[in-house]
Amino acid sequence: MRRIALPVRPGSCAVARHFVRSVLAGSGWAGDVEAAVLLTSELVANAFIHAHSPCYLTVRLDGSRVRVEASDTDPDPPVVARPSDDSPGGRGLVLVEALSSAWGSRIEADEGKTIWFELAVRARQPSRGARARRGPSRS
């Protein structure tokens, strides 16, 4: 488990992305690192925009699964918005819902809330046009 405190200031989302990328790269995790980085950015941005509070980011690795948690001081639960196509924002939790293996939140007694997502390593699919090898061919 690795944890970092992120103050509300420009550049903190970039620090969060770098932190998650380096934790996952250092562990050799074989999952979708870019999805983890994107979803982390969404959680941290939500903490800054909606909670107006610093964020504590935790990364937990458990075999083929990674769990990223963002804790802030706002006790209000997150709401998945369904913005119109014209809306410039509001898609963060829609992305979390669509790309993660699981996600959720919990209220921390007198401390705010934690929003989390998990990503699991998925079995690789053969690329299109790839043929199964059945041993040496006979001519």
Domain ranges of the chain: 2-120
Does residue 103 surpass a pLDDT of 90?
A: yes
Report how far residue 4's alpha carbon sits from residue 96's, in angstroms, rounded to the nearest whole number: 20
Does residue 108 surpass a pLDDT of 50?
A: yes
pLDDT at 27: 93
pLDDT at 78: 86
Report how far residue 44's alpha carbon sits from residue 49's, in angstroms, rounded to the nearest whole number: 9
pLDDT at 126: 46
- Paired strand residues for 67: 60, 118
Q: Which CATH number fits domain 2-120: 3.10.20.30, 3.30.565.10, 3.40.50.300, 3.30.70.270?
A: 3.30.565.10
Does residue 134 surpass a pLDDT of 70?
A: no
pLDDT at 121: 87
